[in-house]
């Protein structure tokens, strides 16, 4: 890289940015604050060592993670990103509670629906029995009347 297009890391460290600069892909010149946070918390040499030890496909995620952790630590020196993690875990627990509550309510509704169906079937069965009982009694009366008339 030429001096005019130095990455944010090389600009901050006031050095020439070489073609094989390990920090250039992750700390572009148009975002100097990104490197400033990471440099303040981890130091440039540590960031370089961490990134060089990782496989190339994992370096961007590591740079993003270090940037998030560093900016969180600057904003909250005591808890850093753990406060965000705790908040997210709390939201997950609340969501799981809501899901369990809705599932219980759904199970209750399903049970009520099944009970109503059973009651309707039972009612229909009783109606059929009453109809058949009445038809049987009429048939008996008819046969009894027929026998008397003979």
Nearest-Å Rg of the Cα atoms of the chain is 39
Long-range contacts of 54-60 (CB under 8 A, 24+ apart): 59/25, 59/26, 60/25, 60/26
Per DSSP, the three-state class of 25 is coil
pTM attached to this predicted model: 0.61
* Residue 2 pLDDT: 45
Helix crossing, 32-42 with 44-53: angle to 10°? 100
* Residue 143 pLDDT: 64
Q: Scanning the structure block, which residue is given the tokens 């969180």?
A: 72
| Every domain of the chain and the residues it spans | 1-75, 88-150
A 10 A CB-CB count for 63 gives: 21
pLDDT tens across the length of the chain (150 residues): 444 588 999 999 999 999 889 999 999 999 999 999 999 999 999 999 999 999 999 999 999 999 999 999 999 999 999 999 999 999 999 999 999 999 999 999 999 999 998 888 887 777 777 766 766 666 666 666 666 665
């Amino acid at each position: 890289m030429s001096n005019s297009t130095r990455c944010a890391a090389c600009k901050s460290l006031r050095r020439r940015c070489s073609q094989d600069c390990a920090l250039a892909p992750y700390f572009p010149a148009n975002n100097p604050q990104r490197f400033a946070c990471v440099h303040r918390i981890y130091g440039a040499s540590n960031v370089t060592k961490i990134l060089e030890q990782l496989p190339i496909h994992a370096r961007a995620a590591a740079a993003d993670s270090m940037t998030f952790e560093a900016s969180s630590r600057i904003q909250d020196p005591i808890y850093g990103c753990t406060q965000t993690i705790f908040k997210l875990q709390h939201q997950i627990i609340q969501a799981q509670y809501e899901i369990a509550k809705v599932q219980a309510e759904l199970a209750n509704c399903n049970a009520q629906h099944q009970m109503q169906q059973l009651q309707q079937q039972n009612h229909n069965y009783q109606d059929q029995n009453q109809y058949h009982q009445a038809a049987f009694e009429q048939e008996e009366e008819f046969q009894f009347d027929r026998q008397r008339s003979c």
